[in-house]
Amino acid sequence: GSWKLSDLLKLILVSSSNSGIEIISDRLSLLQEFFYRKGHFLSLMNKKAKALGLDQTHFLNESGLDINDSLAGAYGSAVNVATLFDYAIEHYPDIFGATKYDSIIITSVEGKFETVLNTNKSVSEIALLVASKTGLTDLAGGNLAIAFDTKDNGRIIVVVLGSTQEDRFLDAESLANVFKK
């Protein structure tokens, strides 16, 4: 089937599909190689990080998956992740907003429906959730970024890095609850 890029990105973010982002990156890279050079997409990712002042962030691949047992696919601090997450939510609210739901349904150009479950098991536990993004690799551990609105404090972004696959949800909920008291 044929899918709109925005719908594919929603699917990828909600389901944490590393293979999906690699496929999009490969297709875009083929176009960019025709017009520019090999590796241009990854280069643009790192240029954007630099332009946003993310001095502790560097991408070695598009997905962030570990390259081998000792080299991660991406590096970044919690503050840098929060800054990047905030930028993404502000500039692409429709795409990142899909990550606040337990599941989403997207429709292909031909009318085929796909239902995708969110890898963030705690989305329904966080009031006023704006967006969320999970991450998990052997080297980085369990990671989770969430953004939520509060009545008094505006938007708050919580980033948990280096937790476990299950505890990242509890860690983020605990931190979110601190701001809601």
- Mean pLDDT, rounded, for 66-85: 97
Q: What kind and span of H or E run contains 22?
A: helix 18-35
Q: What is the pLDDT of residues 94-142, one digit of tens each?
A: 999 999 999 999 998 899 998 999 999 899 988 899 999 999 999 999 9
Distance of alpha carbon 156 from alpha carbon 19, whole angstroms: 30
pLDDT for 30 beyond 90 = no
Of the two residues 72 and 36, the one the predictor is more confident about is: 72
This prediction has a pTM of 0.87
Residue type, 6: S
Q: Residue 156, SS3? A: strand
pLDDT band at 41; cut points 50, 70, 90: confident
Q: Cβ distance 130 to 145 under 8 Å? A: no
- Helices and strands of the chain, counted as H and E runs: 6, 7
